[in-house]
Amino acid sequence: MRGSHDSSASSLSGTALVIGTGGIGAQVCRDLAGQGKKVFHTYHQSRDAAEELSNSLGSASAGTSPLDIRDETSIREAVEKAASVLGQVDILVVTAGHRHEFARFVDTPAILAGEILEHELVGVMSLVRAVLPFQETAGYGRIVLVGSDSGKAGTACDAVSSAARGGLISFARSLARETAKDDITINVVCPGPTDTELLHSMLDAEGTTAKIMQGTVRAIPKRRCGTVGEVSAIVTFLAGDVAGYITGQAVSVSGGLTMS
């Protein structure tokens, strides 16, 4: 029984599906591959970057596939392809976000609000729904969702995304109660501002987006942004056998921005 592993073990299960090849997602792929895991990853638009990442993973790469998180058919096809190539999806890591400008909630168009919720909550839930049957059949799984500390504290002028991230935490906690009887865990990693191209694009933006993000960075008690390596370290820990007794948790990696 895989759940009976000694707590001193440091191994991870053998296969992983990583959704997203942005800064954090790419680092997670590299870290899992460095630990000898077979990694299949998806991308939304950046095919060249995804293929470059695959090449950098060498023999640990099980391939890559496009995925539109808003499309159930795209999700099903990507998951089925990953499962076919990997044989089994032991680990699912989802890094999904929607780049948008910050604005007061009353000034946020309903169509934009819907797009954010599709990317950051509904689509993530659909991915978990597609992968979970494989893990239930195996009686084992590690699901790690990368959200945001905004899901705990809220972010001014980003109410819809904060709601989506908060919903992600509640979703994980509820699902964890369903899957705990098997050796399947689901947790959320909540980064604060992290040194990525996405963050820099927001800091360099004009108006409300830059103002809010610059203020958030200044408020970090550690007085610096996090690194993708620091976030990935928590993701890969929660994806490991040693974390089998941790489920339904939302772990902040934010330099003390939120403390709970």
Task: Write the DSSP string, 15-45.
Answer: EEEEE--SHHHHHHHHHHHHTT-EEEEEESS
What is the structure's pLDDT at 174?
98
Q: Write down the pLDDT at residue 242.
A: 93
The arithmetic mean of pLDDT across residues 181-186, rounded, is 94
**pLDDT tens digit sequence for 137-163:** 999 999 999 999 999 999 999 999 999
For residues 228 and 28, give the distance between their C-alpha atoms in angstroms, rounded to a whole number.
8
Average pLDDT in the 111-135 region?
97
With respect to CATH, is domain 12-194+228-252 assigned 2.40.40.20? no
Burial 150-187 (b: 16+ CB within 10 A, else e): bbbbebebbbbbbbbbbbbbebbbebbeebeebbbbbb
In this prediction, residue 204 carries a pLDDT of 86
User: What's the CA gap between 4 and 70, in Å, rounded?
Assistant: 37
pLDDT of 4 higher than 50? no
- Alpha helices (H) in the chain, listed in sequence order: 23-34, 47-57, 72-86, 110-117, 123-138, 150-153, 159-179, 197-203, 208-218, 228-238
Q: To the nearest 10°, the Cα dihedral for 117, 123, 126, 128?
A: -100
Q: What is the pLDDT of residue 13?
A: 54
Look at residue 200 in the predicted model and tell me its pLDDT: 84
Contact 116, 103 (CB under 8 A): no
Q: Grade residue 199 by pLDDT with cuts at 50, 70 and 90.
A: confident
State yes or no: pLDDT of 67 exceeds 80: yes
The predicted model gives 4-16 an average pLDDT of 54
Per the prediction, the chain carries an average pLDDT of 91
Within 10 A of 59 (CB to CB), how many other CB atoms are there?
A: 8
What residue spans define the domains of the chain?
12-194+228-252
